[in-house]
Amino acid sequence: MVVLRINVLIIRVSAVKVLSLNCYFSTLCRLLGVCLLLLLISACSTTPEPKPEAPKVQRQPLVDYALSLQGVPYRWGKASPTEGFDCSGFVQYVYRQHGIHIPRTVQEMAIGLPEVPKNELIPGDLLLFNTKGRKASHVGLFVCDDKFVHAPSQRAGKVMVSSLNNSYWRRRLIGVRRPQHTPR
């Protein structure tokens, strides 16, 4: 009977050890589960560090100002409301009045300004056209929808709004540029 009691005691001690190991692993698993859950929740709630951005061009005031110059006479080689505008002088003047320096000629704009896909137009973008059988020879300033403002030619005579739905302009549109705010 003593032997039997010892065996029962050993079995009970072993059972207690197994039971205590089971509790330990069970508690450990619960703790790990809670930690994993907290980690997942915190990962979902964190936001990435914002990237510093260059100051943005205030587009609507720029477009409104360009539209206010409608009717100013076209003058080849000029870039002011008092003397008149050619196409590149017009867009350069508008941007300069908003503290943004861009190149003077259409070709320099085409080469020196960041290109944008045609399907990503936003107000204030520059529209480049091939009107003389060579790369970019005309520029206008995108307003919205299908409208742009520009100083088209001596024949048209003045700064005006035109439509990209007009087949003449639609066929000749060759690119879009987006000046960035880089004050001097």
Active site residue 44: no
Q: What's the pLDDT at 145?
A: 92
Q: Give the active site residue among 101, 144, 150, 181.
A: 150
pTM: 0.68
CA dihedral 36, 42, 48, 49 (to 10 degrees): -120
The domain 59-177 having CATH identifier 3.40.50.620: the answer here is no
Say if CB 139 and CB 91 are below 8 A apart.
yes
Q: Give the active site residue among 87, 98, 101, 144.
A: 87
Any idea what the Cα angle at residue 78 is, between residues 149 and 106, rounded to 5°?
60
Active site residue 150: yes
Q: Where are the domains of the chain?
A: 1-42, 59-177
> What are the pLDDT digits (tens) for 97-145?
999 999 999 999 999 999 999 999 999 999 999 998 878 999 999 999 9
Instruction: Say how many C-beta atoms besides its own lie within 10 A of residue 81's C-beta.
Output: 16
Active site residue 138: yes
